[in-house]
Amino acid sequence: MLLIKLATKSLLNRKASALLTLFTIAISVMLLMSIERVRVDAKSSFSNTISGTDLIVGARTGDIQLLLSSVFRIGHANNGVSWKSYQFISEQRGVKWAIPMSLGDSHKGLAVLGTNKDYFEHYRFAKKQPLSFLQGHEFNHLFEVVLGAEVANTLGYQLGDEVVIAHGMGNTSFHNHDDNPFKVVGILKPTGTPVDKTLHIPLAAIDAIHGSHAHQHEPAQADANDHDHDHDHDHDQHDDVDLVGTPKQITAFLLGFDSPLYTLQVRRNINQYKDEALLAIMPGVTLRELWEMLSIVEKILLLFSIVVVLISLLGMLTSLLSSLNQRRRELAILRSVGARPWHIFTLISVESLLITGLGCIVGTALFYALMLLGADYLQSHAGISLNIALLSSYELMLLAAIMVAGFIVGLIPATRAYFYSLADGMSIKI
């Protein structure tokens, strides 16, 4: 207790340098914790993007490319799947549900997905959580749209608002069909996945906005080729018609089976499908492959933050060592009142532990402050939902590791002080 009191008062006496050292450690702790939290949460929100889907089927391309285009809305599929193939495969034995997906159109830079009502029923994210509505309901008519949580949030849309959907990707599309407004009938609860950034419309409406009921166009394609649009088309007649229609092509489709046993068999059949070059992927497996590709970045980030922590501890070592020479008199006074060399050793060790410990506490506080400030930004810009929870056992372990490292670094000046106090004795040379 006496030594802790002495160490504290001695540190307070050297406030400026002690605080600076403490602050350096705090910042490095904050950095390490933030990087780790973002990394872990990115990984989980990444693998939480889709679940409960057994297969994703699209035109033949790379596994990862198909995953990116169908689930993450990144890049776009060059080819689609013909409606015929979709219908054939969805009628196979064991198929419980099939959700067609038609991507390629956008609204103010946000993806528009043409699909059927099964989407709201069977699509799952995270731990098999279904989509649920914050307000309203699924679409029942052709020109109705269901918004992802973020779409409604950032664009300020409410139920009953009318939304214009453009053909093609990007903010400035070639065609803005002001005469084809969609009515907002539902807003989904936030999921922390790309669903939040998506506008869902009936599959048949994709055809409608391209004005191609005669099937002479390729409506679901992502490219922005100039189409011969029929603007005078009267779409009221479709309001009570089926919402799927018979498009020529869709971008991809999701399959769910009665039993997972069908998955591998159907997958093999699809990959060997004669009539069209198709690819079926298991989302879980491909997500893992994708994450492994990204793991080098992840490891470099971790490495950097560890190096920052080490540098901050070396900073502490420097400041403790340089103060030691000025403190030889202090140590000799302690020796004269009967402090043994190991008391001196403990005193300096306690100092380094105090600095590291306080650094960890302040760093953790800064970390939470940063998380609170940055959570919204990360959610809206990177789609990573941060979990502002208590420290996980992994994070506590990180803090413990920093404490141990701080203690070990502190042994160096402590040992030095030990030998000073043996050599100096009662004669202090300054």
Partner 1 sequence: MITLENVLFKWHAKQPEPTINIPELDIDQGEHVFLHGPSGCGKSTLLSLLAGVTVPTQGNIVLLGKAINQLSNSKRDRFRADHIGYIFQNFNLLPYLSPIENVTLGCQFSKQRQNNALKNSATIAAEASRLLTALGLNDALQHQAVAQLSIGQQQRVAAARAFIGSPEIIIADEPTSALDTQNRQAFVKLLFEQASAANSTLIFVSHDETLQTLFTRSISLVELQGGTDATH
Residues in contact with partner 1 by the rule CB under 8 A: 2, 6, 9-10, 12-13, 329-330, 332-341, 343, 425-428
Hunting for tokens 């302040």 — which residue is that? 362
**Contact predicate 102/69, CB 8 Å:** no
The distance of closest approach from Cβ of residue 340 to partner 1 in the complex, given in angstroms and rounded to an integer, is 4
The distance of closest approach from Cβ of residue 372 to partner 1 in the complex, given in angstroms and rounded to an integer, is 37
Task: Name the residue type at position 77.
Answer: A
Closer residue to partner 1, CB minimum distance, 333 or 382: 333
The distance of closest approach from Cβ of residue 425 to partner 1 in the complex, given in angstroms and rounded to an integer, is 4
**Residues 57, 61, 151, CA angle at the centre, nearest 5°?**
65
Closer residue to partner 1, CB minimum distance, 10 or 70: 10
**Contact predicate 24/315, CB 8 Å:** yes
Task: Name the residue type at position 293.
Answer: M
**204 CB-near residues (< 8 Å, 6+ apart):** 114, 142, 238, 241, 242, 243, 244, 245, 247
Closer residue to partner 1, CB minimum distance, 15 or 299: 15
Closer residue to partner 1, CB minimum distance, 337 or 390: 337
Q: Please give the DSSP secondary-structure letter assigned to residue 206.
A: H
Phi, psi (rounded to 5 degrees) for 84: -65, -50
**Residues 104, 109, 112, CA angle at the centre, nearest 5°?**
40
CA 131 to chain centre: 19
The distance of closest approach from Cβ of residue 412 to partner 1 in the complex, given in angstroms and rounded to an integer, is 22
**Contact predicate 84/104, CB 8 Å:** no
As a residue count, the chain comes to 430
**Contact predicate 250/80, CB 8 Å:** yes
Closer residue to partner 1, CB minimum distance, 10 or 102: 10
The distance of closest approach from Cβ of residue 337 to partner 1 in the complex, given in angstroms and rounded to an integer, is 5
Q: Reduced to 3 states, what is the DSSP secondary structure of residue 20?
A: helix
| CA pair distance 109, 80, nearest whole angstrom | 21
Token pair recorded at residue 6: 């002495």
Closer residue to partner 1, CB minimum distance, 62 or 425: 425
The distance of closest approach from Cβ of residue 321 to partner 1 in the complex, given in angstroms and rounded to an integer, is 19
The distance of closest approach from Cβ of residue 3 to partner 1 in the complex, given in angstroms and rounded to an integer, is 10
Closer residue to partner 1, CB minimum distance, 393 or 427: 427
Closer residue to partner 1, CB minimum distance, 167 or 335: 335
The distance of closest approach from Cβ of residue 426 to partner 1 in the complex, given in angstroms and rounded to an integer, is 5
**Contact predicate 92/54, CB 8 Å:** no
| CA pair distance 172, 106, nearest whole angstrom | 10
